[in-house]
Chains A and B, each alone.
Chain A
């Protein structure tokens, strides 16, 4: 079986070699990098622009952004036909290709996030290392913990007020440098699509900007969602532990903090959403108005074949409905969670409609292709490029976040 044949349905005239070559994993790729970039931008709003209201979520989104980072690469590796050669992109980059910059942009960004995290958590590392060092008879676990935290301090044990202030200045600088790099990381994912001149749907200079705006939207939405879920778990745990440890915050205190953070974050979500939708609609109107050669088939795809996906699911349920939900005064936690879920789905559908929609028509402009997503895998290929492959990619960041949270607790006051 030829790659792509298992999930491609062809209608009317398509070239013999045309299949849906870029499937669900390539939908996941911009979706995941979007979440990375969005979460980072959210944390930078606090660190760089000093938006105090976002303090509660800033550290959380920074760690989550770091947890998402390795996962932005995973879908790319999964879709390669020769994944063992993936490293060549870093070793022998061919710089006329948009993909070749991936290694450089990605590792620059990873280094910035990692060093920012280090400065944010250095005090915590030092304190943990010292606390473990003071225990005379350490168990194996404590020994390993001591080793880990001592290594993480990188030998910088000074946590005087002066040193911590220097840390904070470094965080601010790194976060400032990180914003353009995060935008570049994602805008460049948009460029990968926007620069394919052979594809009538993809080719637009607006693509990188659209990708950045929707990235920030999805990143913020995911942070609201995960933040509320973890806060709910904390409330539950707090109620249980309150009896033994009276110094812990009470469930009521947690709840009021939670509502405040969510309301503030939702405002930024709305702002970026307006920008994203405006650009997307501009693109659509421009295509219809200029109506170049490819418009006939694009119209058939946008207004007929993918109508439900684009106008009902993406714009209706994914944009308009949450927009109204967040605009109605008195946002509650429940409404914010439902709204964030809808926004996430909307952004996912936008990626889907770009990646799969861009392959829904033949480059002969005389035929259509339909992606039938493999659900039950019957081979490695249908696993990777089907539902379960996508689910794997979606679950991994949460596992990484769980582990990272053990080392860098997002809710502990370190300053």
Chain B
């Protein structure tokens, strides 16, 4: 009969012996081979926002809510437009009532809880609009912090949420410095802008790009040197939001100034 001691010894030996040839399997990881061969894939979706062209009509927000079935009256949205006014006293006034779903219907600034602040035209030094959406970061903190892997990044750079797997802990919402995530009021799981993945993967543009009558929003493939969006990003002075967080955001802005949050 085999003794306990020799059983333990032998099983350790077998396990160790098996581990040596098994380690070699890593060499043939097909994903890695593909990545080494040609950077993996030919598409990396990026977004370009020209703030000079945005007029704050909010058609993009309206279109997005309808297209992506985010309840129209719920106070959450995948994309929104912010209004900025810098006054002569150096103050920056910012608002985005209902995410600018209905545009900006009054010159007064929404300061929350139904209160408005009057900003006089003659006091304003500069004013502009900034559309916001998910930055589809190259180093997405939301993907990093998801405890169950329900949110993930596709090979072409878009961060998606698996509605059947999300536990609704809200860690990703906390982890996003841009505030683009929220709980879907119907599905009760994390929700975010996904560059209309169902559209772009079929060769269409995102809904917000199609809805913008002024060409302020554009989507492109940064891996394609002939893509007009890529050309602008490579040749003009573009900026990104909150670079200091190390998230490597992939939504590029033309005409971004220091006041933008």
Contact = CB atoms under 8 A, between A and B. Distances in A.
Interface of A: 1-5, 9-19, 21-22, 76, 79-83, 85-86, 88-89, 92-94, 96-100, 102, 192, 196-199, 293, 362-367
A22 B261 CA distance: 23
Interface string B165-182: 111111101111111111
A365 B178 CA distance: 11
Contact of A21 (B166, B167, B183, B244): B183
Contacts of B225: none
21 contacts: A11-B113, A13-B95, A16-B96, A21-B174, A79-B169, A80-B169, A81-B188, A83-B167, A88-B150, A88-B167, A94-B147, A96-B143, A192-B171, A196-B145, A197-B141, A197-B246, A198-B175, A198-B176, A364-B94, A366-B92, A367-B112
B13 interface: no
B47 interface: no
Interface in B14-73: none
Given A362-B179, A363-B178, A13 B145 contact: no
B144 interface: yes
Interface in B131-186: 132, 141, 143-150, 165-171, 173-183, 185
B80 interface: yes
B77 interface: yes
Interface of B: 74-77, 80, 82, 92, 94-96, 98-99, 111-113, 132, 141, 143-150, 165-171, 173-183, 185, 188-189, 244-246, 261
Contacts, number: 148
Tell me the interface secondary structure of chain B in the complex.
Answer: loop
A198 B245 contact: yes
A93 B183 contact: no
A236 B95 CA distance: 64
B168 A82 contact: yes
A295 to B, nearest CB: 14
Nearest to B176: A198
A293 B146 CA distance: 27
B167 A89 contact: yes
Shortest 7 CB-CB contacts between residues of A and residues of B: A81-B168, A15-B179, A94-B149, A99-B147, A364-B261, A198-B177, A17-B182
A85 B162 CA distance: 13
